[in-house]
Chain A
Amino acid sequence: MSLLHPLLAWLVGIALLMGCAGRASILSPRPEPLRLHEIAGEGDAARRASQRLVLQGLASDAEGQTRLGRRSYERALQVDANNPFAYLALARQAVEGGDGESALEYLEQAELLLGAEDLRSPRVEPHLAGLRGAALLARGDTRGAGELLAQASELAPSVWDDGQLSAEELR
């Protein structure tokens, strides 16, 4: 199922209006949404290797080789089973493939691990909110999706204004 759901544009539009209408935060500087290559050198050896595999996977995804991408994420988890970004990348891929159910499962793991490692920063939040919204949308839950996508769009309009997170944008 494509993310270009007929409802999506409507939802994002409403969401943007809601966001712009009453929130002062749009006037304050927003942190740039996280791109994973920026943190490729962080963590211990296993985490760094795992991150490289996640980046490889995102590169494959960006080229349309989703199976290869998925395999890279699984290898990333083989090296570091607690790498939240591998789950985030899996969630993104699942959303793109229209598998909202799996995306929510991956997001659950990603959120748990991000929280546990104090990595749940304002730079990650738009991705978490947006992916959850897109996953709910893929599952047919438009009510929950709209608010989350709006939140993502407000936090990171440069990435989430189209309601999607491409592999390149996450990479």
Chain B
Amino acid sequence: MPRAKPRSTRRGRGLLRVLVLTIAGVGFFGGFVAAGYFLSLDRSVRARFEGRRFEVPSRVFSTPSILYPGLDWKLVDLRGTLARLGFREAGQAGRLAPGEYAWGASRARIHLQAFEHPTRSEPARDVVLRLDGSLIQEIRELPSGREIGAVLLEPEPIGAFYGANREQRELVKLEQLPPHLVGAILAVEDQRFEEHRGIDLRRIAGALLANLRAGAVRQGGSTVTQQLVKNFFLTPERTLRRKFQEAAMALVVEARYDKHEILEAYLNEIYLGQRGPTAIHGVGEAAHVFFGKSARELDVAESALLAAVIQSPNGLSPYRESERAVRRRNLVLEMMEQQGRLDPEVRARAQAQPLRLAAVTPDPGDARYFLDLLRRQLSDVYDASVLETDGLRIYSTLDRRAQRLAAIALREGIADLEKRYPRLHSEQPARALQGCLVALRPQTGELLALVGGRDYATSQFDRCTQARRQTGSAFKPFAYAAALEPFRGTPAITLANLLDDSPLEISTPSGPWRPENYDKRSHGMVTVRQAIENSLNVATARLARDVGSRRIADLARRAGIQSPLPIVPSLALGVASVAPIEIARAYATFASGGIRPELQSIEDLIDADGRTLDRRKLRFERVIDAGTAYLVTSLLEGVADRGTASALRAGGLRGPIAAKTGTTDREQDLWLVGYTPELVVVVWIGFDEPRSLKIPSSLGALPIWRRFVQDMTGGQIRGRFPKPANVEVIEIDPVTRAVALSGCPERQSEYFLAGTAPTSFCGDGSSRVPLPGGGLAERPPDREDDSSGEFFRWLRRQL
């Protein structure tokens, strides 16, 4: 009979069973919890890795600068452009790498960087410019020595559509990067990256030891995977819990993804410093910011510097802490050599290399109104989130130099006005004097510059595109165009006609309207040129009454005005409120011979994969007869040469200018709208609130227009206004306005649409000049009896 087990043994076994069960239960429960924990981490990891890994803001670029023989390199600020593009100045001699230039007294050498674009890529090119003073005499490509007619610089970045984090990055592919860049980063950040599974125990132990010896945290033990996890998912706090989480996630990431994917993500995510309010992330972006080149073009020393900066992007900034950055760079190079990633000779050469950084060209912010306009235009097609995260490349029509000069001209012009007229100054930003400047290329409608206010920081309201203001006399050219344009085969007036500027009263539903001239005087009979050159309101109102406001409104709409135009007698005097950009487009129609261009602000739009999403197409439409447009241009040339805008010439501005001033009632809005054969510029000055400036536009807006065009052209405006074939030049007697034949004592050349010249002749005794439209204008009193009258009477009889 078996002996009964002692009671204590039974109890011991029971306890053991309980213990085992407890451990098993805890183990099971712990495993369950751990599995759940890891599953949850896995979900987070997958969500991030398999969704959109990075937010890449869309970038906006200017139109490229074009260099060609004969160009004034000082005028176009070539060296400034190179600096803004991140080019580094090197010594005169020796080999230049892409992105470097050397400047001498009579030659400049530029190694242009490759520019990638789906349809218009440009290869890297080494070119030499022969200089003669400020002019480029010749461009040759090296080493072939082949002469080149024109060279394009890459488009300048002018801004980006950031998300809330203001992170700027350019995504790179691992296989595109030079091995020494990857080697430098792994040498210093994670030399056993290929071996570990997310956590490197040897590195942790080494770091622990180093920190114990130093008595402070000096070295991190995190692998590249842990750093990526920290940046992707965690906060920067230094707690054990966070470290544990980081390690666990690193294990999950390594289990899920291969080393290639992890390293590529790290290289695109790593924080490498700050440029103003923008955080620089990834080696692609950092290569552009630090060296003005693409990451694939980085040499060994530059790669080592990027790797060096990772430890403390701001403390080791090569711009602020260059010595520390170089020391750390050299340490990285030594580590690369020790780890067999670099030959000793290469290491030595790289260590001897001085720091050559791209110039820091802080964003002046002068294109922000333009960027807002683009965002508004693009938001019709793309969600804000797409613009902020999808990394689109938007190539705009903005001319970087024109934009900068426009911003300076407007800002300093307004400040100058406040200095000359202190009553215009206000300490309150909301009551400050404001203005806007917009510049277009008339033939193509490309928007070259847009400054919507004096200071974007204090007011983001764009007065060029969002504000509608009365135009005053800047509207008059539409009235004259309507009068000069053939209507049912005949124009209402020609440039031979006289207009009546005597007092006028027009009945309107709201009572009689009596227009007045700016000088409050009447000028009797005046020529069409005198009427517009002196911006006479009464003569223009009478003309508009005869032509009809409907025809004037119709012509203005055809030219490009889209705002509502009231059909009232005062329309011709600028009672309608329109946006400056509309006026710019409508004047562009005159400038381009009656062909209205479609406004263009974007050249093309490229997605992150290099596909073209959208590209502009130049569009035009003939909306005004070429001859009529030319007559208006000729009238406006007179305004710039002799009339209310003649101060444009005061600064020595030479060449063809057509312009019109505009000052509204109570001098609340001051305009100068003008064009050259290649540029339409509108300047508006006023307050946001209804308030008089008590100065005319010739003192307010004109100096700003003049300065901008002077700075753009260097004072010599190129080209001429094209005279179409249906305009003929005929000499007329300036007094009788009749055709001047030989013997007529005074004569002046005048333009006429073919077949509309006067039918009377100088000295024929006629007291009236017939109007082509059938009307008659009173002839002014003869100044003197023409001694050759007999001859003309005889000639007339013969004819």
Question: A residues touching B (Cβ–Cβ < 8 Å)?
Answer: 40, 44-46, 48-49, 51-53, 55-56, 67-68, 71, 74-75, 77-82, 90, 102, 105-106, 108-109, 112-113, 115-117
| B225 interfacial by beta-carbon distance below 8 Å | no
CB distance from B243 to the nearest CB of A (A): 54
CB distance from B74 to the nearest CB of A (A): 15
Contact A46 B68 (CB under 8 A): yes
A–B complex contacts, Cβ < 8 Å, 15 sampled: A45-B68, A52-B149, A56-B150, A68-B119, A75-B66, A75-B150, A75-B152, A78-B63, A79-B66, A79-B68, A81-B677, A90-B618, A113-B722, A115-B724, A116-B722
CB distance from B72 to the nearest CB of A (A): 9
User: In the complex, which residues of chain B have a beta carbon less than 8 angstroms from the beta carbon of A116?
Assistant: 593, 720-724
| B120 interfacial by beta-carbon distance below 8 Å | yes
Please encode chain B, from 692 to 735, with 1 for each CB lying within 8 Å of some chain A CB and 0 for all others: 00000000000000000000000000111111110000000000
Contact A81 B442 (CB under 8 A): yes
| B549 interfacial by beta-carbon distance below 8 Å | no
User: In the complex, which residues of chain B have a beta carbon less than 8 angstroms from the beta carbon of A53?
Assistant: 66, 149-150
Task: For the A-B complex with A48-B69, A49-B71, A112-B595 known, give 18 more contacts whose Cβ atoms are closer than 8 Å.
Answer: A45-B68, A46-B71, A48-B68, A48-B149, A49-B150, A53-B149, A75-B150, A78-B66, A79-B150, A82-B719, A90-B618, A105-B595, A105-B620, A105-B621, A109-B443, A113-B722, A115-B724, A117-B722
User: In the complex, which residues of chain B have a beta carbon less than 8 angstroms from the beta carbon of A48?
Assistant: 68-70, 149
Q: Please tell me which one of the listed residues B70, B441, B619, B620 contacts residue A46 in the complex, with CB atoms under 8 A apart.
A: B70
In the assembled complex, the Cα of A49 lies from the Cα of B67 at a distance in Å of 9
Report if A46-B120 is in contact (Cβ < 8 Å); known contacts: A52-B149, A74-B618, A115-B725. no
CB distance from B255 to the nearest CB of A (A): 46
| B622 interfacial by beta-carbon distance below 8 Å | yes
CB distance from A54 to the nearest CB of B (A): 10
In the assembled complex, the Cα of A55 lies from the Cα of B678 at a distance in Å of 22
Q: Which label, helix, strand, loop or mixed, suits the secondary structure of the A interface?
A: helix
User: In the complex, which residues of chain A have a beta carbon less than 8 angstroms from the beta carbon of B721?
Assistant: 116
Contact B619 A105 (CB under 8 A): yes
| B592 interfacial by beta-carbon distance below 8 Å | yes
Query: Residues of B within 8 Å of A, CB-based: how many?
Result: 38
In the assembled complex, the Cα of A2 lies from the Cα of B184 at a distance in Å of 56
User: In the complex, which residues of chain A have a beta carbon less than 8 angstroms from the beta carbon of B68?
Assistant: 45-46, 48-49, 52, 79
User: In the complex, which residues of chain A have a beta carbon less than 8 angstroms from the beta carbon of B677?
Assistant: 81-82
| B223 interfacial by beta-carbon distance below 8 Å | no
| B419 interfacial by beta-carbon distance below 8 Å | no
Contact B678 A81 (CB under 8 A): yes
Q: Please tell me which one of the listed residues B149, B444, B621, B724 contacts residue A112 in the complex, with CB atoms under 8 A apart.
A: B724
B617-661, CB < 8 A from A: 617-622, 626
User: In the complex, which residues of chain B have a beta carbon less than 8 angstroms from the beta carbon of A82?
Assistant: 443, 677-678, 719, 722
User: In the complex, which residues of chain B have a beta carbon less than 8 angstroms from the beta carbon of A56?
Assistant: 149-150
User: In the complex, which residues of chain B have a beta carbon less than 8 angstroms from the beta carbon of A90?
Assistant: 618
Q: Please tell me which one of the listed residues B66, B119, B593, B620 contacts residue A67 in the complex, with CB atoms under 8 A apart.
A: B119
User: In the complex, which residues of chain B have a beta carbon less than 8 angstroms from the beta carbon of A77?
Assistant: 441, 443-444
In the assembled complex, the Cα of A99 lies from the Cα of B626 at a distance in Å of 24
Question: B residues touching A (Cβ–Cβ < 8 Å)?
Answer: 63-64, 66, 68-71, 119-120, 149-150, 152, 441-444, 446, 592-593, 595, 603, 617-622, 626, 677-678, 718-725
In the assembled complex, the Cα of A106 lies from the Cα of B719 at a distance in Å of 20
In the assembled complex, the Cα of A65 lies from the Cα of B720 at a distance in Å of 33
Q: Please tell me which one of the listed residues B149, B152, B619 contacts residue A102 in the complex, with CB atoms under 8 A apart.
A: B619
User: In the complex, which residues of chain A have a beta carbon less than 8 angstroms from the beta carbon of B63?
Assistant: 78
| 10 nearest CB pairs, A to B | A45-B70, A116-B722, A52-B149, A49-B68, A67-B119, A81-B443, A105-B620, A49-B150, A71-B120, A112-B593
- Which of A67, A68, A109: most chain B Cβ within 10 A? A109
Q: Please tell me which one of the listed residues A68, A108, A117 contacts residue B620 in the complex, with CB atoms under 8 A apart.
A: A108
User: In the complex, which residues of chain A have a beta carbon less than 8 angstroms from the beta carbon of B626?
Assistant: 112
User: In the complex, which residues of chain B have a beta carbon less than 8 angstroms from the beta carbon of A115?
Assistant: 722-725
CB distance from A93 to the nearest CB of B (A): 12
User: In the complex, which residues of chain B have a beta carbon less than 8 angstroms from the beta carbon of A108?
Assistant: 595, 620, 622
In the assembled complex, the Cα of A116 lies from the Cα of B721 at a distance in Å of 8
CB distance from A60 to the nearest CB of B (A): 10
In the assembled complex, the Cα of A106 lies from the Cα of B63 at a distance in Å of 22
Contact B71 A45 (CB under 8 A): yes
Contact B444 A81 (CB under 8 A): yes
User: In the complex, which residues of chain B have a beta carbon less than 8 angstroms from the beta carbon of A52?
Assistant: 68, 149-150
- Which of A52, A55, A90, A106: most chain B Cβ within 10 A? A52
Beta-carbon nearest neighbor of B616 in chain A: A74
Q: Please tell me which one of the listed residues B66, B595, B718 contacts residue A44 in the complex, with CB atoms under 8 A apart.
A: B718
- Which of A40, A49, A51, A117: most chain B Cβ within 10 A? A49
In the assembled complex, the Cα of A112 lies from the Cα of B70 at a distance in Å of 26
User: In the complex, which residues of chain A have a beta carbon less than 8 angstroms from the beta carbon of B619?
Assistant: 102, 105
- Which of B119, B150, B621, B719: most chain A Cβ within 10 A? B150
Contact A46 B718 (CB under 8 A): yes
In the assembled complex, the Cα of A82 lies from the Cα of B595 at a distance in Å of 13
